[in-house]
Structure 1
């Protein structure tokens, strides 16, 4: 296993440009430099089979979600740097290798060594670190593969393993549209918090089948869903199914795959627009975070992506833009039960972390989806001023004291700060 060590010239050029944007606050540049070089130097490992293994930070496993999200800022230098493009393609190869092993798993081992987070009651094998089924875990690899194509022109990531994995993803999404009747997936973790296991002997809370959306057992936080139709993840699915249709038509030339992706995309989209919108006094029509199809809604947002805050970032466009605007207003207020204010900061946190802890990921997402440069800069300043004195981003931190934080090393948060700073400096990821 080979680890990347030297900072490439393509990244040094970006560092030099970014430095010129913050002469009044050099700390922003120093934090950016640490965050941007940290993942490539510490989390990325080239394997002997030309795949790339990416640890999520302080946990020695590869999450499908985190490995894509933490490498997204490197799409910019990959436009001119073949070595970085090779790394990204190697990540996609490994992600789809894993998906073909088990599309219901969210995190995998470097080798089939039997390591795991817990001895859970589900269909485990030696490759799996954890088998929490999350819709977003199947969306991120498609997104990364597509963005590599759009930003570098590379198409060698779309090999037979990609196509096989894509069909597995479609089959799982289809099955989970009818979770009650058709799904064999179960997950039980004994002697733990209720957020770390599924109710009803591992099946999860009851949902209405056939409404278009696809069921998810867990959120991108790895916490169990309250209601099984996780709206932001279904929004993400709509976007990547559009990507998959385009890939199938133009690259792999499979009319069957293109047709299947397009049909499923429409069903999920209609399900969101018909079943995920409700009214909230003072805000009007808004998207719920989760629904069950029977009329129950969970009005909140979580710091992890996909989130309702990240709709525009992901590329989801609903039928009525006002609903998205109303939703943003709600989730960036204390009408969202996980929005916290304190002496040091305010923003969106998560039930995954303590009360009054907000996340750098959410602060950066607020900046990335901001409509003005002034708000983007405000969120950069806020994130940089709440690093806990470590010159890196963290998972959650206390709104009263940023030296109280969770996770010493969290590659995803570092990547989000890097992307926000680069976005502010004019670097745009094509999609």
Structure 2
């Protein structure tokens, strides 16, 4: 593994300078050394960094930079397989939870939550928690040709994902509730834990955003499109690995229903809304956490409307987006999850990855220059004072920085098609 990482860092160093190359190498090694624990069952538990729990979203994105090395480094392929197995085990245990403990430790973000399962760190239902493990497993399979991760349990989980996304098209029939006593509105759900009212639209409901903040309106548009993409991956796996035409047909049909729902309800003035409820409620913004509207070409390339997305990109990277912040040092997308005026490195990396080679080069250097001298990427930083930041160790941000840097190296070698 070290040899593959060293070679990747050398490529970055050649096009982006010594310091950025060193930051990439350190981050790639740190994730493997400090966030991953191999269990007795052969699965791998991945903490987020400074929080001792495993998020299904974060653990996928933390591994994303390594996917390009799988063909040349079998041990990395084995590690990703072990993570996928743990993710499927988590989903088999509770498909509504977003974050898990390494066993039944009883640890919780908030002990007063309605869910007191000792395996579950937090049970905030986020649609992306179902989609991210699917996309990781699918990319692993396509990169290696190995279906090792697709055992009988994984087959059951894929069926569960389709069934749950379909159930939540009619959320009033769902058993899911989330209540956090005494919490601020973004940390709990209204109406006795059911969330704000929604109409039936064809889309699937989510209680919380990828930021772990409660949805204002129950249909999160980027999450629905990401789920639609993941359902296409499930259909491929069902066809080619499990020879399960019923699952494949159900997954494709549901994917189409989600896309049609977004087309009918989620496009406003030629751009994607962030959230809607089907009752007239519309939230126009974007959030730094992915899936975001900005990230759709990365996470939902086969189901988005390219013209609508281009108009959406112009919207979210402007002052029309209430969470686009400008400062003396940086400008970019932040989040209601953190203080006003704070830009998120994840969003800056996504801006680069969905932009031009010039955008990527500029933003890579901006990210390196705003690390407050720590050599690490943070959750957020003050756009006028990067020494004021949140989360000293946030592995997801490190991973996005590495992915951007490796893409810049690809650009220099002519490996990326012109935009």
- What is the TM-score normalised by the length of structure 2? 0.96
Alignment length (residue pairs): 413
Secondary structure, aligned partner of 1:426: helix
Query: Which residue does 1:401 correspond to in 2?
Result: 385
* Map 1:201-280 → 2, pairs under 5 A: 201-209=192-200, 211-279=201-269
* Map 1:136-215 → 2, pairs under 5 A: 136-180=128-172, 182-209=173-200, 211-215=201-205
Q: Is the 8 A contact 2:210 2:290 kept in 1?
A: yes
- Of 8, 21, 43, 2:15 maps to 21
Query: Which residue does 1:282 correspond to in 2?
Result: none
- Of 126, 130, 133, 2:125 maps to 133
Q: Is the 8 A contact 2:203 2:224 kept in 1?
A: yes
- Of 349, 352, 357, 1:364 maps to 349
For the structure 1 residues 319 and 304, does the alpha-carbon distance in structure 2 shift closer, same or farther, using more than 3 Å as the test?
closer
Deviations 1:115-146 (A, max 9, x none): 11112443431110100000000000000000
Paired with 1:319 and 1:423, the residues of 2 have a C-alpha distance of 22
Deviations 1:275-297 (A, max 9, x none): 10111xxxxx1100000011211
Q: Is the 8 A contact 1:238 1:316 kept in 2?
A: no
Secondary structure, aligned partner of 2:15: coil
Paired with 1:35 and 1:14, the residues of 2 have a C-alpha distance of 12
- Of 376, 379, 382, 1:392 maps to 376
For the structure 1 residues 240 and 319, does the alpha-carbon distance in structure 2 shift closer, same or farther, using more than 3 Å as the test?
closer
Secondary structure, aligned partner of 1:347: strand
For the structure 1 residues 247 and 318, does the alpha-carbon distance in structure 2 shift closer, same or farther, using more than 3 Å as the test?
closer
Q: Is the 8 A contact 2:12 2:408 kept in 1?
A: no
Query: Which residue does 1:315 correspond to in 2?
Result: 300
Q: What displacement does 1:317 show?
A: 4.5
Residue range with higher mean Cα deviation, 155-164 or 308-317: 308-317
Paired with 1:322 and 1:82, the residues of 2 have a C-alpha distance of 40
Secondary structure, aligned partner of 1:413: helix
Paired with 1:75 and 1:258, the residues of 2 have a C-alpha distance of 25
* Map 1:313-352 → 2, pairs under 5 A: 313-317=298-302, 320-352=305-337
Paired with 2:98 and 2:334, the residues of 1 have a C-alpha distance of 22
Q: What displacement does 1:316 show?
A: 3.2
Paired with 1:315 and 1:307, the residues of 2 have a C-alpha distance of 10
Paired with 1:128 and 1:306, the residues of 2 have a C-alpha distance of 22
Q: Is the 8 A contact 2:225 2:304 kept in 1?
A: no
Paired with 1:385 and 1:287, the residues of 2 have a C-alpha distance of 32
Q: What displacement does 1:167 show?
A: 1.2
Paired with 1:81 and 1:295, the residues of 2 have a C-alpha distance of 51
- Of 86, 89, 97, 1:97 maps to 89
Query: Which residue does 2:5 correspond to in 1?
Result: 11
Paired with 2:335 and 2:300, the residues of 1 have a C-alpha distance of 23
Q: What displacement does 1:190 show?
A: 1.2
Q: What displacement does 1:319 show?
A: 6.8
Paired with 1:318 and 1:117, the residues of 2 have a C-alpha distance of 35
Q: What displacement does 1:55 show?
A: 0.3
Paired with 1:53 and 1:103, the residues of 2 have a C-alpha distance of 17
* Map 1:373-388 → 2, pairs under 5 A: 373-388=357-372
Paired with 1:145 and 1:193, the residues of 2 have a C-alpha distance of 36
Paired with 1:53 and 1:303, the residues of 2 have a C-alpha distance of 25
Secondary structure, aligned partner of 1:405: strand
Q: What displacement does 1:17 show?
A: 2.1
Q: Say yes or no: does 1:60 pair with 2:52.
A: yes
Paired with 1:334 and 1:319, the residues of 2 have a C-alpha distance of 24
Q: Say yes or no: does 1:421 pair with 2:405.
A: yes
Q: What displacement does 1:212 show?
A: 0.9
Q: What displacement does 1:425 show?
A: 1.0
Query: Which residue does 2:22 correspond to in 1?
Result: 30
Residue range with higher mean Cα deviation, 303-312 or 113-122: 113-122
Q: Is the 8 A contact 1:291 1:297 kept in 2?
A: yes
Deviations 1:306-352 (A, max 9, x none): 00000111133557432111100000001000000001100000000
Paired with 1:274 and 1:317, the residues of 2 have a C-alpha distance of 18
Which structure 2 residue ranges, 5 or more long, are not aligned? none
